[in-house]
């Protein structure tokens, strides 16, 4: 039996914009595999040092890339991470940067338990569109797309659009 080729998708954006929510639901609807880089790093202890300012372990980016290489070559992966410039560019067929309005994001991060500098820095990251600019530098501009992620209607629209894109990609590449 010939194996169907499937695309790899990167979901990125500031923490709290809804990457996990979208990624998991998208995986359920399409049969693609959802990969959360934070969880993967925790499971495999793929860390290199500790960030005193943010009180969190520092991701060992090289080991994350090594760990994922074989899976990414299989295709059909949905990768979720709040950064994007250390992944090999060749891994992804499309990159989505989720965007959330400031007040909305502030409330989400606050209910997640973020306070003080951590809360402020993350909201600023969104205001300065840091991750969008990172994505535009790391990937071909034409494969980078911003998606609004403010309410359940946005979520549903994004799910439908990406599902359709996957279907079309598979028609074109098989």
16 DSSP 8-state letter: T
Q: Please measure the distance between the N-terminal and C-terminal CA atoms of the chain and give it in whole angstroms.
A: 13
9 DSSP 8-state letter: E
Query: Least CB distance from residue 24 to ligand DAT, whole Å?
Result: 8
Residue 155 makes contact with ligand DAT by CB under 6 A: yes
How many chain residues interact with ligand DAT (CB under 6 A)?
14
Task: Provide DSSP, 60-96.
Answer: -HHHHHHHHHHHHHH--EEEE-S--TTS-GGG-SEEE
Determine the interface stretch with ligand DAT among 56-64, 86-94, 149-157, 162-170 (rule: CB under 6 A): 149-157
Determine the interface stretch with ligand DAT among 43-51, 83-91, 117-125, 148-156 (rule: CB under 6 A): 148-156
Residue 18 makes contact with ligand DAT by CB under 6 A: yes
Query: Least CB distance from residue 38 to ligand DAT, whole Å?
Result: 9
Residues 6, 8, 10, 17: which binds ligand DAT (CB under 6 A)?
Answer: 17
Site for ligand DAT in 51-80 (CB under 6 A): none
Element of type H or E holding 144: strand 144-148
């Amino acid at each position: 039996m010939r194996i169907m080729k499937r695309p790899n998708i990167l979901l990125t954006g500031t923490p709290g914009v809804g990457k996990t929510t979208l990624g998991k639901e998208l995986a359920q609807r399409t049969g693609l595999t959802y990969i959360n880089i934070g969880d993967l790093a925790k499971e495999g202890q793929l860390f290199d040092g500790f960030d005193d300012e943010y009180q969190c372990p520092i991701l060992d980016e090289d080991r994350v890339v090594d760990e994922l290489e074989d899976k990414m070559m299989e295709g059909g992966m949905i990768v979720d991470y709040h950064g994007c410039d250390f992944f090999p560019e060749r891994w992804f067929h499309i990159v989505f940067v989720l965007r959330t309005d400031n007040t909305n994001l502030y409330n989400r991060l606050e209910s997640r338990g973020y306070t003080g500098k951590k809360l402020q820095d993350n909201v600023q990251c969104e205001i300065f569109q840091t991750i969008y600019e990172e994505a535009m530098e790391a990937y071909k501009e034409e494969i980078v797309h911003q998606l609004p992620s403010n309410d359940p209607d946005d979520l549903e629209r994004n799910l439908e659009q990406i599902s359709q894109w996957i279907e079309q990609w598979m028609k074109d590449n098989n």
